[in-house]
């Protein structure tokens, strides 16, 4: 009897403690800034895909743009050799090692025709995504405005909101070749705008950069007192003419350009990028960055410098693979009844869905659950992407071909 009472008392005590913990947990609240954003779409959706795969469904993902090919052999060899140096494992300079800054400068000179001072006009980054954080903190006060493209990379919007900036969208539309709506921009009151985010070659639409576009952006920035931040990671993917906004005369006075090793050199997991601008802008960004993160592993920086020395044949070999995949992705688009611009560049294919679908998820969810192929719905990039899908080319040819056959089978059963 006593033992039963003891067991009862213990259970009751446990229940009371559990209830107390639940009550205590409900008293905690996140920062108000989290109410302005949601979990990143790919973070959330890929959990669903992972669950489907755990159930044996073998989903083929054509969603995220994570290159599946390796960097050059020389790059990997440099990493392995440098990692064996016993003196190379300490903290590295916040400004990056001289070898990497010089390699970025030489790369810009060789491929873009842009002269950069490696000591003062280049800042290596732990990826461009982190750079968005650093630049926004360095230039935008809470309550000030930033111009963000619609459609555009979701992080331009989410990080701006988290940091208290007011997001003002500017339109990119198919009828204008996914270029800015200049009439709309010129009519805007930009007195509170600090930054304008641009991204050419464009993601998600694949619209290529042009000298005329960059010249007009620089002119707009000068007249309005705005800083243009051009995100430029796709200029070597299926693109015969890499361009930089910094090639426009005096663009460094009002522009910052991001570039990345992730897409151009098949190094997304390495987290190595950079920004380039005038020395004052670079110094302001460094002031923020040095209080947030540290320098990258020396061996990785040396390997990145090796990657940047790649010749034209290496880029062409990379693009040969993407061309084959682009053809298969085009067949998927046609099978789904989607239309797209053949002049697109970059590692995605962007297409408009047929009018018969009430919205894009009616198509993408059917493809996911019936054909077991994950395709990105365009609404995640903004309202102007609501009738579009995006197919990633970061998938082996055999898997892309299998995805095509699955979708053909799904369509035949309609």
- How confident is the model over 332-341, as pLDDT tens digits? 999 999 999 9
pLDDT digits (tens, 9 = 90+) for 17-70: 655 556 565 689 899 888 888 787 878 888 999 999 999 999 999 998 999 999
Residue 46, pLDDT score: 83
Q: Tell me if 337 sits within 8 A of 360, measured CB to CB.
A: no
Nearest of 305, 330, 315, 275 to residue 67 by alpha carbon: 315
Of 284 and 27, the one with more pLDDT:
284
Tell whether the model's pLDDT for residue 380 goes beyond 60: yes
Q: Among the listed ranges 5-14, 41-50, 224-233, 262-271, which one has the minimum average pLDDT value? A: 5-14
Q: d(Cα 44, Cα 41) in Å, to the nearest integer?
A: 5
Residue 13, pLDDT score: 59
**Residue 302 backbone phi and psi in degrees, to 5:** -65, -40
**What CATH number does the domain located at 41-69+313-412 have?**
3.90.1150.10
Tell whether the model's pLDDT for residue 277 goes beyond 70: yes
At the top level of CATH, which class does the domain 90-310 belong to?
alpha beta
Q: Among the listed ranges 17-21, 375-379, 397-401, which one has the minimum average pLDDT value? A: 17-21
Tokens 């500017």 appear where?
A: 170
Mean pLDDT across 139-153:
97
Tell whether the model's pLDDT for residue 5 goes beyond 80: no
pLDDT digits (tens, 9 = 90+) for 105-138: 999 999 999 999 999 999 999 988 999 999 999 9
Tell whether the model's pLDDT for residue 142 goes beyond 90: yes
Tell whether the model's pLDDT for residue 4 goes beyond 60: no
Residue 1, pLDDT score: 47
Tell whether the model's pLDDT for residue 276 goes beyond 80: yes
Residue 195, pLDDT score: 98
Mean pLDDT across 314-336:
97
Q: Locate the domains of the chain by residue range.
A: 41-69+313-412, 90-310
Tell whether the model's pLDDT for residue 377 goes beyond 50: yes
How many other C-beta atoms can be found within 10 angstroms of the C-beta atom of residue 309? 15
pLDDT digits (tens, 9 = 90+) for 164-179: 999 999 999 999 999 9
Tell whether the model's pLDDT for residue 141 goes beyond 60: yes
Residue 10, pLDDT score: 55
How does the average pLDDT of the chain come out, rounded? 93
Residue 35, pLDDT score: 85
Residue 20, pLDDT score: 59
Residue 24, pLDDT score: 60
What percentage of the chain exceeds 70 in pLDDT? 94
pLDDT digits (tens, 9 = 90+) for 66-93: 999 999 999 999 999 999 999 999 999 9
Residue 40, pLDDT score: 77
């Amino acid at each position: 009897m006593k033992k039963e009472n003891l067991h009862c008392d213990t259970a009751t005590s446990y229940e009371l403690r559990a209830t107390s913990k639940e009550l205590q947990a409900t008293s905690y609240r996140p920062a108000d800034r989290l109410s302005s954003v949601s979990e990143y779409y790919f973070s959330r959706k890929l959990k669903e895909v992972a669950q489907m795969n755990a159930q044996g469904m073998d989903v083929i993902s054509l969603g995220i743009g994570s290159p599946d090919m390796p960097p050059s052999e020389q790059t990997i060899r440099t990493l392995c050799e440098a990692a064996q140096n016993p003196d190379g494992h300490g903290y590295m300079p916040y400004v990056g090692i001289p070898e990497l800054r010089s390699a970025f400068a030489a790369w810009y000179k060789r491929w873009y025709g842009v002269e950069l001072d490696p000591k003062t006009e280049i800042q290596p980054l732990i990826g461009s995504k982190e750079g968005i954080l650093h630049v926004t903190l360095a230039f935008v006060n809470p309550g000030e405005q930033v111009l963000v493209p619609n459609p555009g990379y979701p992080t331009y919007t989410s990080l701006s909101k988290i940091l208290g900036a007011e997001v003002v969208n500017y339109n990119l539309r198919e009828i204008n070749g996914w270029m800015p709506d200049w009439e709309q921009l010129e009519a805007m009151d930009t007195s509170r705008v600090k930054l304008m985010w641009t991204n050419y070659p464009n993601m998600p639409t694949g619209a290529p950069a042009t000298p005329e576009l960059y010249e007009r952006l620089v002119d707009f920035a000068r007249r309005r007192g705005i800083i243009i931040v051009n995100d430029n990671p796709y200029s070597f993917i299926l693109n015969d003419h890499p361009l930089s906004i910094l090639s426009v005369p005096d663009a460094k006075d009002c522009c910052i350009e991001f570039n990345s090793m992730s897409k151009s050199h098949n190094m997304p997991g390495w987290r190595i990028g950079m920004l380039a601008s005038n020395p004052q802008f670079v110094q302001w960004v460094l002031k923020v960055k040095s209080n947030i993160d540290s320098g990258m592993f020396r061996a990785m920086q040396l390997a990145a410098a090796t990657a940047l020395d790649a010749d034209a044949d290496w880029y062409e070999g990379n693009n040969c693979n993407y061309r084959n995949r682009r053809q298969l992705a085009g067949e998927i688009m046609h099978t789904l009844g989607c239309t797209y611009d053949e002049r697109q560049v970059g590692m995605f294919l962007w297409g408009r869905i047929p009018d018969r679908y009430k919205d894009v998820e009616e198509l993408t969810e059917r493809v996911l659950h019936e054909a077991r192929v994950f395709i990105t719905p365009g609404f995640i990039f903004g309202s102007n992407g609501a009738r579009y899908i995006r197919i990633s080319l970061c998938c082996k040819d055999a898997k892309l071909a299998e995805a095509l056959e699955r979708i053909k089978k799904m369509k035949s059963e309609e």
